[in-house]
Amino acid sequence: MITGGQFSVVISRWGGSRQGEAKINVASAISLDCIEELFIDRLEWQRQVFWDDREGRVVAREERRLGALILASRPVQVSQEEAVSAALEGIRRVGLEALNWTAEASRLVARVRFVERTFPKEGWPDFTPGTLLDSLELWLGPFLSNVRSWSDLARLDLVGPLRASLEWSQQKFLDELAPTHLPVPSGSRIALDYQTENNPILAVKLQELFGLAETPRVAGGRVPVLLHLLSPARRPIQVTQNLRSFWDEIYPEVKKELKGRYSKHPWPDDPWSAAPTRWTKKRK
């Protein structure tokens, strides 16, 4: 771009090489005023709005050009539509990892994907990464009106845009078919983990399930959860979808192994009749 009153170069004579490369032999300076006088009919201001990866923001400017040569540049106000388009351009180049994937947003995506896999004919949206990236302008575009930089994007909560892409009835059914938490006999509400391609996981301390025979289910009773039964130290003891079999066949061995290590916690001989609890024996 020209920044002063003169510009180099105007080529007077070219030389060549055997490899076909051109070489400047003679050149002279030319002023901006001279360029404007000679090429006035070819000069034009062009508006440029784009996402600058180096600066990490939307850039908007007008450039006075002679072909590919930039003679002058000046900042301009950006419209909302232009800013959204530029932000989408920047996100697409980086990918979905450019977005603010909070734990809540990631859980929402996982829950929708679970319901879509379980009920594939009921019109649930496709929240796979490829489809989310391809459809950015539909589900995210309406929420980018105030985004001008990466810092603005980092503050954008994705839960709102994602939920907005569900119909009202789907939002209601999602909470019924794929609840975020399940109640257990101890009175606790335990978070479910849907972020696998298999059944959702319920990781719960086994003392909180005393007396429970049937494995909890989601998706309107269609899908049993995968129980990760935990020790008092919250380490996995057993993974099962057959809770009744665990109490009858495996619990006696677990009790024998862990009772001495976690003596402050209840290890009844009969887990069927014991009161479920989240506490130690003393606290209980």
> Where along the chain do its domains lie?
6-77, 93-177, 181-258
Examine the pLDDT at 82 and tell me if it is beyond 70: yes
Q: What is the pLDDT of residues 140-153, one digit of tens each?
A: 999 999 999 999 99
Lowest mean pLDDT of 32-36, 69-73, 162-166, 202-206, name the range.
Answer: 32-36
Q: How many CA atoms lie within 13 A of 115 on its CB side?
A: 26
Mark residue 156 as left, alpha or beta (left: phi above 0; alpha: psi -120 to 50; beta: remaining).
Answer: beta
- The Cβ of residue 113 has, within 10 Å, a number of other Cβ atoms equal to 19
Distance (Å, whole) CA 225 – CA 183:
13
Q: What is the CA radius of gyration of the chain?
A: 32
Predicted confidence band of residue 180 (pLDDT cuts 50, 70, 90) = very high
Are the C-beta atoms of 192 and 183 separated by less than 8 Å?
no
What pLDDT, on a 0 to 100 scale, did the predictor assign at position 11? 44
Of residues 48 and 18, more confidently modeled: 48
Cβ-Cβ contacts under 8 Å for 129 (sequence gap 6 or more):
96
**The pTM of the whole model exceeds 0.85:** no
What pLDDT, on a 0 to 100 scale, did the predictor assign at position 164? 97
Distance (Å, whole) CA 9 – CA 29:
5
Distance (Å, whole) CA 192 – CA 114:
12
Examine the pLDDT at 35 and tell me if it is beyond 70: no
Query: What would the mean pLDDT of 212-225 be, rounded to a whole number?
Result: 97
- Structure token digits, residue 101: 């994937």
Q: What is the pLDDT of residues 43-73, one digit of tens each?
A: 677 888 999 999 999 999 887 677 777 777 7
What pLDDT, on a 0 to 100 scale, did the predictor assign at position 10? 45
What pLDDT, on a 0 to 100 scale, did the predictor assign at position 154? 95
